[in-house]
Amino acid sequence: MAVQYKKLTEEELDTFIEMRICQLREEGAKEDMDLRPALMDYYKRHMSEGTFVSWLAVDGDKIVGKLFKI
């Protein structure tokens, strides 16, 4: 299947946040910090205000890449 691009919606937000947490851990965020609640609040709030937009690269049902602009 070919990679397609779509705008992030709340439907993909859990997976998007997991990917973001993995990225932050690789960049040095501590394992003992629960980042999920703060990230969920941030993304939901800013997505609804239109101040955060992300595009996903998807292959079937799998997110294979992301691009975001704040």
Confidence at 70, pLDDT banded by 50, 70, 90: low
Which residues constitute the domain of residue 53? 4-69
We report the CATH number of the domain holding residue 49 as: 3.40.630.30
Task: Quote the number of domains for the chain.
Answer: 1
Q: What is the mean pLDDT of the chain?
A: 91
Residue 43 CB neighbour total at 10 angstroms = 19
CA 65/CA 51 separation, integer angstroms:
20
Report pLDDT digits (tens) over 31-41.
888 999 999 99
